[in-house]
Structure 1
Amino acid sequence: MTCKKGDSCANRHDEVRDLTASMLREVCRDVTTEPTLLPLNGEHVQYRTANTTNEARVDVSARGFWTRGQRAFMDIRIFDPMAACYQRIPLEAAHQKNEREKIRSYGDRIRNVDHGTFTPLVFTTSGGMGPKAKCFYSRLADVMAEKKHQPRSHVVAWMRCRLSFSLLWSALLCLRGTRYSAPTTIDLDGLNYQATVVESGILA
């Protein structure tokens, strides 16, 4: 679960990235995966660990998510809470540590150069979410439910289940080894969240 060799970690990360981008496309404009940040032109960044390269990228961006007309940037991290570096700290502190690292890498630069907002989306390999990720997906569920005219509880249930399965699928790949599968496109257009969660028994 912590090995960096092979494609397992990248696949785990990309699965959540693509799902998040698909949900954002339902409610936002100008949704992009792996957008390149604007290059620095003499601007000062607050932290030494900030990513200052001209090719710096984040995972997803969307216009109008938090504030109308403003671009929102999100970057995903999935960590193993059973790794040795987290054994002596509470799970909540581990989430906050990973969020701080992401904010120090991109937050100041995005705020001052790209004039957008930055949200770190931190998950555990077992499906837990960091505080900022919970806030992000709660907001996303609100907007999706309003736009689709469907009960929020059903949208939230579908979203949590879909994210959990994405993390579970990628965790199984890490444990059993890579098996090739053709990329799949997640089509949410016309999806009836209420019927889906009722038929699948998610709310039971």
Structure 2
Amino acid sequence: MRYRTANTANEARVDVSARGFWTRGRRAFMDIRIFDPMAACHRELSLETAHRRNEQEKIRAYGERIQHVDQGSFTPLVFTTSGGMGPKAKCFYSRQADVIAEKKHQPKSHVVAWMRCRLSFSLLRSALLCLRGIRYSAPTTTDIAGLDYQATIVESGIMVWII
């Protein structure tokens, strides 16, 4: 591979693949990155530069391998946490809107609005998951064999009424 940052692991996989997306009969591979433009590493950069830099990192990691080994095309899908898109992601979304509008016999503007809404909610869920973590926590078990009930009641401040 030309770049040292290329992902050469046998288990290396991109996030999404589709046959016939860009060209009939050819597989298209997409890898997704969501970044926070307000992060310390992006603060000094313009938004366009940050998008371009993130796209180039993805291309260096997967582009050459997908082109030569998998015989497909590669598109990095770079988004900001607030819903902004990189240039290649905009092209991808435009093509996807064309395909959906044609298939569903809907105006492209309606399809684009629907896709933007779905994307905004997905990014919001992802950001909340990163900030808050998952809601579900594995049930914990307590060994009740050695539990001192009297001390637990006193420590918790629970009033016990004996009738």
Residue in structure 2 matched with residue 200 of structure 1 by the alignment: none
Matching of residue 159 in structure 1 with residue 106 in structure 2: no
Matching of residue 143 in structure 1 with residue 132 in structure 2: no
Q: Structure 2: which amino acid aligns with 1:61?
A: S
Following superposition of structure 1 onto structure 2, how do residues 88-99 of structure 1 map, counting pairs within 5 Å? 88-99=44-55
The answer for unaligned runs of 5 or more in structure 2 is: 138-163
Secondary structure of the equivalent of 1:166?
Answer: helix
* Per-residue Cα deviation, 1:128-186 (whole angstroms, up to 9, x for no partner): 111100100110000110011111110000000000011112222333332139xxxxx
Q: Structure 2: which amino acid aligns with 1:49?
A: T
Residue in structure 1 matched with residue 63 of structure 2 by the alignment: 107
Q: Structure 2: which amino acid aligns with 1:52?
A: T
Matching of residue 122 in structure 1 with residue 69 in structure 2: no
CA distance in 1, matches of 2:71, 2:133: 41
CA distance in 2, matches of 1:177, 1:69: 40
Residue in structure 2 matched with residue 173 of structure 1 by the alignment: 129
Following superposition of structure 1 onto structure 2, how do residues 1-204 of structure 1 map, counting pairs within 5 Å? 45-180=1-136
Secondary structure of the equivalent of 1:68?
Answer: coil
Q: What TM-score does the superposition give when structure 1 sets the normalisation length?
A: 0.65
Deviation at 1:55, TM superposition (A): 0.8
Q: Structure 2: which amino acid aligns with 1:93?
A: T
Percent of aligned positions that are identical: 82
CA distance in 1, matches of 2:123, 2:103: 27
CA distance in 2, matches of 1:170, 1:111: 30
CA distance in 2, matches of 1:176, 1:59: 24
Secondary structure of the equivalent of 1:53?
Answer: coil
- Report the RMSD for the aligned CA atoms in angstroms: 1.3
Deviation at 1:127, TM superposition (A): 1.0
CA distance in 2, matches of 1:139, 1:130: 14
Q: Which has the higher contact order (CA 8 A, sep 6+)?
A: 1
Secondary structure of the equivalent of 1:75?
Answer: strand
> Which has the higher mean CA deviation after the structures are superposed, 113-122 or 162-171?
162-171
Q: Structure 1: which amino acid aligns with 2:6?
A: A
* Per-residue Cα deviation, 1:62-97 (whole angstroms, up to 9, x for no partner): 000000000000000011111111111101100000
Q: Structure 1: which amino acid aligns with 2:51?
A: H
Q: What TM-score does the superposition give when structure 2 sets the normalisation length?
A: 0.81
Secondary structure of the equivalent of 2:69?
Answer: helix
Residue in structure 1 matched with residue 145 of structure 2 by the alignment: none
